[in-house]
Amino acid sequence: MKATLSLGRIAGVRVGLHWSVLVIVVVVALALARGRFPQAYPGHSVVLYWALALLTSVVFLASLLAHELAHAVVARRNGVEVDGITLWMLGGAARLHSEAPSPAAELRIAGVGPLTSALLGGLLAGLAVWLDALHASGLAVEAVAWLAAINLVLAVFNALPAAPLDGGRLLRAYLWHRTGDRLRATRGASAAGRGLGWLMVAAGFAVVLFRGDFSGLWPALLGWFLIAAATAEARQAQLNSALRGVPVSRVMTADPVSVPGGATLSDLLAEGPFGHYRHSAFPVLAPDGTVAGLITMDLINRTPVEARSTTRVRDVMLPLPGLVTAAPDEPMVDLLPRLQTGTVRRALVLDGGRLVGILTLADLNRALNWPAPSAGAHHRGPWPGEG
């Protein structure tokens, strides 16, 4: 989930908004401005209802951000790097650089989210009671009370023992501790997530069919998201298990064909697809031999045909700072999340700043699909990319 709008760093963590977060703002504001606020306190102006509803929506987003920041802060304290946080249509997501190192760390990282939401709900409930005791505006009390209730609901919902919810992470930590098998624990939590998802889908459509209430589509949508996310999590765990202990050097394509940054696009195209350049992406080298970036056929195709004879590769390449890079001895399980979410789904492998390989999803699939050695077979000599 890539952020559309960056909010900078909070507590040292990159935070961004996905465009779909507008759905949250619109749904919450519409429900409050056209429903709850006028029904509870009629007689106020439409402008006031909408202004307070929009403000409440923003505070709600801030509470979602606090939930995810809590995950990120505790993750960093447990030795897990955080790539960033993105708020989107169905809430928020903290992107962890790697998995928790132990069941205890998993428990702490997962548990702090619902605790944060519950704490916020309690504080907001206390604030609503205090404002009511001071005879503050009924609308203001209603807005704060709604925020308190929704945070408590989030705490309870996220604590349900089903992946990918925080409760699913807690369940996985428990199963991991009991069995000592991370993959088996993930499968159990993912199965619980799919079960909850199907239950929500069935309940949502039952509300639509038997009561004629289309609000049932919302839990059905959340249920479908849970099914998809839980299934993806199980697959990811299977992939991580297969790659555990495997370094990048065993999967990458060593000594990839590179392109000088000063070459024109026409020069590059003249050598392919059957000549020297027969791939669809190439590392770009600076005059001193260091890596400057990456050029892809897609970038070349965006350049007008008449301009390709005068356009240099370095003028249209993706610069190195924006690319995924890795070291040869880096574990594949640590690189995989960056590879899957990268702009071009490729990683340049650098050893002391020197290009030694390139890794693509095709390399990964080829490694995973390689038949297992027969019983009693022994590997001799270096693996591809080693030695």
C-alpha to C-alpha distance for 146 and 139, rounded to whole angstroms: 10
Residue 36 DSSP label: I
Helix (H), strand (E) at residue 141: helix 138-158
Altogether, the residues listed in the chain come to a count of: 387
C-alpha to C-alpha distance for 186 and 197, rounded to whole angstroms: 16
Q: Helix, strand, or coil here: 290? A: coil
233 is catalytic: no
Q: Helix, strand, or coil here: 193? A: helix
Mention every residue, 6+ apart, whose C-beta is less than 8 A from residue 247.
328, 329, 330, 331, 332
CA 200 to chain centre: 23
Catalytic residue among 68, 106, 142, 233: 68
Pick from 345, 335, 224: nearest CA to 294: 345
- Cite the active site residues: 68
